[in-house]
Structure 1
């Protein structure tokens, strides 16, 4: 399954180069030392914070990532004078798996993003409910904390669409993806409605590849092509348990050519929105 925008992202959790786990563990130890120095046990501290003692335990042992508002409140309750709140920036960077941060960085530097998705809806266009359903399908399963982390990271990547100026995003989606009821009928309906809304933005063009199309240049796998501000282009390819950044000019050129052919074979953006409306009416 597509490891960047799909449900199987286990390699993100096991990346030995990802320093985020050490950062979260360090923050947890610091919080524990501040709590103990203030004379609070976990139950009393939780009461003052408005959280359960079990959550305090998970944060202190580094298995749960504290939210910014938690750190602000802890700073106030423990009288840390801004020292705990100052850790918010480090925690925010560590909140997302390394490969998500790397992809998000490239997307933030892009002036144009082209995405062909043949398994699930493009990650930049997924609703929270759809993304949560996807990560819930992963086997072996993610823990609730891991699902929360990955959903948060998925939605954070979408900030690039609200940037000014925003990059041009073109997406080709397979018809089968639009009909697959991941998360159930209501989740799918919400996702289709979101595609219709986003697809009307001036910086977004969504095209549908109908099942009935005979000529199809994208049967190999999902992929992205991104043109960056400095004029270079990179590709991003997804396979089971891994995602690969492509920088070799000849390989990027092949992906770029292939993407152009896929777009030519798909419905036009206007035809595609009409098609999505039709699928929504049938869902």
Structure 2
């Protein structure tokens, strides 16, 4: 069974609901805090932005100020309790660093996950050996990285794809992510075969974007992940992955932009069955050339070739 939606998502949902209620009552942050005797507006601001774990008593006080009806109060109290969940929830994910845990929270409670990677295999699809090499590179940048601990954490995250009721997971990969890029041949063959195995699972879809295809000008410049949740009122989320930090987007305007990008990339990508065939052939011969064709199979069958921006190979410790 899927885990409950993460506390992070519930906090964002609770904050949005409380902000809407305050505005309905035409109250400012200052007016609410004055009524409740709170020293400053920062506490309320952090609750509305989903940046702090809410105290249930504070939430009940806010619902009184906003004159919330009984039936609506009960629903918001459930959300507030989820938002206040602490260490017990995170224990289900095992020990992991802050960045991996942020993604694990979203993955564990998600109904759907879409990931885009321009240069590497996504973390949820990595073998232990491939992950160890990726994290070894991260350690060159940060000597504090515990490679083996992060590999174990990554394997814990991957369990989400093997639950009885997993999220529907889609990976959109640039063709450069299918290039070994210096990975030893044995490790790379194992990784490609692992991708083929996962691609045959009913809830996993892997699609490769052929080199040079057009996405109608909407081409992402960084890796990102998009999440939706079983409760449609929980805020859908996009995580942008950078070298040292990540950015979480939840606004409707941001999500609409990424929805359009995902749709255009899906239109341009090889179908799932063709992607699986491609990965299987590369697993048999990792040196097989790819930019133009594979054994007479043109990779640019979807979309027309177009000059695109050069995307540098990222070195993110998250994946």
Which residue is equivalent to 1:131?
131
Taking a change above 3 Å as real, the CA distance of residues 122 and 194 of structure 1, as seen in their structure-2 partners, is same
> What residue number does 1:199 align with?
199
Residue 243 (structure 2) aligns with: 240
Q: Is 1:226–1:235's contact at 8 Å kept on the other side of the alignment?
A: yes
- Which residue in 2 is equivalent to 1:267? 270
Q: Deviations over 1:6-39 (max 9, x none)?
A: xxxxxxxxxxx9xxxxxxxxxxxxxxxxxxxxxx
Residue in 2 that maps onto 1:150: 150
1:280 equivalent to 2:283? Answer: yes
Q: Which residue of 2 aligns with 1:163?
A: 163
Richer in helix (by share): 1
Quick check: 1:133–1:182 contact (8 Å CA) kept in 2?
no
Q: Is 2:226 the counterpart of 1:217?
A: no
* Aligned 8 A contact 2:206 2:272 in 1: yes
Shift of 1:154: 1.3
Q: Distance in 1 between matches of 2:94 and 2:112?
A: 27
- Cα RMSD after superposing both structures: 2.4
The answer to whether structure 1 residue 176 and structure 2 residue 176 are counterparts is yes
CA offset digits 1:149-188 (Å, max 9, x no partner):
2111111111111122111001111111111245311111
Alignment correspondent of 2:120? 120
> TM-score w.r.t. structure 1 length?
0.64
**Residues in 1 aligned to 2:266 and 2:153: alpha-carbon distance in whole angstroms:** 28
Whether contact under 8 Å (1:181, 1:188) holds in the other structure is no
Q: CA deviation at 1:102?
A: 2.2
Aligned residues: 196
1:186-223 deviation digits (Å, cap 9, x = unpaired): 11111000000000000001001111424473341111
Determine the C-alpha separation between the residues in 2 that align with 1:246 and 1:129. 32
CA distance 1:114–1:94, change in 2 (3 Å): closer
Distance 2:223 2:141 in 1: 23
Q: Check 1:92–1:206 CA distance in 2 against 1; reply closer, same or farther (3 A cut).
A: closer
Aligned mates of 2:164, 2:112 — CA distance in 1: 13
Contact 2:214 2:268 (C-alpha < 8 Å) held by counterparts: no
* 2:149 counterpart SS class: helix
SS in 2 for 1:211: coil
Cα distance in 2 between the residues matched to 1:93 and 1:212: 39
- Over 3 Å counting, the alpha-carbon distance change for 1:151 and 1:267 in structure 2 is same
